[in-house]
Chain A
Amino acid sequence: MEHKGFMAIDHYAYSSALNNISSLYKVIFFTAALIYSLVADSALVSLFTVVSMAYITVCMGKIKLSFYMRVMRIPVIFILLSVIAVAVNFSAVKTGYFNISLGRVNIFVSPRSINDSIRIVIRAFGALSCMYGLALSTPMADIIDVMRKLRLPEIIIELMFLIYRFIFVLLDTVENMTRATVSRNGYSGIRASFYSFGNIAKNLLLYSFKKANNAYDAMESRGYEGRIAFYSEDSRVKAREIIFFILYFTVMICLS
């Protein structure tokens, strides 16, 4: 079955070969790598992060390379747009490279701004690859469990659990509603499309209220008294994983 977008990331997280490693370990490892690559502010460290995270996610996690490349491509447009803002400068006098004159204002790029832009791109990709490493190796439910262990406020944890669970239910409902609308030519023109979209949004809101009430009844029927608690066992951290952690960060420190 072909999964798209968020569903695909969730699907790969469950099927990753790294799924049986302790979630707490993975959260700490990827978060530490993310923070270090940002704090070190070194192109070499960021480059190492990009390459090593790709290796961890694709080779060790056994995620398809084509999928990994596809998800990495998604934020490229945002990163490039932000980089343009850093690379391009404005001046009243002609200076720098690729000077374009717009009347009294000159648009140009300087060696320094190009250098800054490249550093920003590499840093952003380094940070991004850490986030994808975590997202593609650890299911959301395990990440929420770790947050509970780290004593995040209970209300946030419970909301995260419920939102994550009902995203799929509501996605399913939207898909069915959209199919039913399409089957009756609901998107045959701009006017009809706006009307159909509005109706789907309205019905989805009402449906989600009803679903929430029913779900609350179902929770109460199983003794819910204000705290959502599940039984889950996290895998133990193995010695080789600790060694890998130490080696990884030693390399990072040496490179910075």
Chain B
Amino acid sequence: MLKLIDLDFSYDDIKILKNINLSVNRGEKIALLGDNGAGKTTLFLCLNGVLKYNGEIMYNGKRADTKELRKRVGLVFQEPDVQIIATTVEREISFGPMNMKISKAQVKERTDRAIKEMDLESFRKRAVHYLSGGEKKRVCIADIIAMDSEIVLFDEPCAFLDTKNALLLEGILNKMSEDRTIIVSTHDMDFAYRWADRFIIMEKGSIVADGGIEVFDTDHVEKPMLWQLMKMQGVKDLRRYPRSIKEYGEMYNG
């Protein structure tokens, strides 16, 4: 679906991204892991066409230009106050579709759909500066839903959220992944381990590991709690590694 070939990005002669080669397939749930400064956000900005990169990004076998990338790939920024530029929820969500030069009826239809999907109906006319952090995050996600992006990138989606809102967001991510490809950059290993099918680990601008839960066997990344528990119990077969407490209960307590 999306293929990155020898992607490089430099800022003031400092290489931020080095020789990134990556394939993203339809319907995947990918966690992008790595320390601060590893290049995760920069990679997202390149994938969305905001930053000018060297190398190639292919979409369905064809070279994708900036316009194509912005249409196909949506980016939910880490800080809602950076992403939200409009004054009310409805105006904010309509901003992306309005830029797509589609008819007003289509803009309204997309805005209404995104508002419904993110359960924001009661906030429609509300000023964004009176929303809580969790509500702002939902508005940011609705922004991207309204753009009908096939691939959605989430930059640190759980940042600034309390446990309740983080769990709510996880539910939203699961629902969204039913018909979209989702890539999430996160420091929360337990969340990544529980949610993703594929893990990509970045270090100093390069991809150092890419695969299933076996990537946690490398030294590049901190280990999730459940992973550590299974290691302590001496379980060697990765197929017997539960991905959630619920799964753990089902697997080991009958």
Contacts and interface: CB of A to CB of B under 8 A. Distances in A.
Interface of A: 10-11, 14, 139-141, 144, 161-162, 164-165, 168-169, 172, 211, 214-215, 217-225, 228-232
Q: 5 shortest A-B CB distances, which residue pairs?
A: A231-B94, A141-B87, A223-B99, A230-B91, A168-B129
Nearest to A141: B87
A17 to B, nearest CB: 14
22 contacts: A14-B130, A139-B88, A141-B88, A144-B87, A161-B85, A161-B87, A164-B87, A168-B129, A169-B81, A211-B81, A214-B79, A218-B85, A219-B95, A221-B74, A222-B70, A222-B147, A223-B99, A225-B99, A230-B86, A230-B94, A231-B94, A231-B98
Nearest to A231: B94
B135 interface: no
Given A141-B87, A221-B75, 16 more contacts: A14-B127, A139-B127, A144-B87, A161-B85, A164-B87, A165-B85, A169-B129, A215-B82, A215-B83, A218-B85, A219-B95, A221-B50, A221-B74, A223-B147, A230-B91, A231-B91
Contact of A218 (B82, B98, B126, B128): B82
Contacts of A172: 81
B16 to A, nearest CB: 14
Interface of B: 45, 48-50, 67, 70-71, 74-75, 77, 79, 81-88, 90-92, 94-100, 104, 107-108, 111, 126-130, 143, 147
Contacts of A219: 85, 95
Contacts of B49: 221
Given A217-B45, A221-B70, A165 B97 contact: no
Nearest to B143: A222
A140 B147 contact: no
A224 B45 CA distance: 15
Given A230-B95, A231-B94, A231-B111, A221 B48 contact: yes
A172 B81 CA distance: 11
A87 B185 CA distance: 69
A233 to B, nearest CB: 8
B87 A231 contact: no
Given A217-B45, A222-B143, A231-B111, A165 B126 contact: no
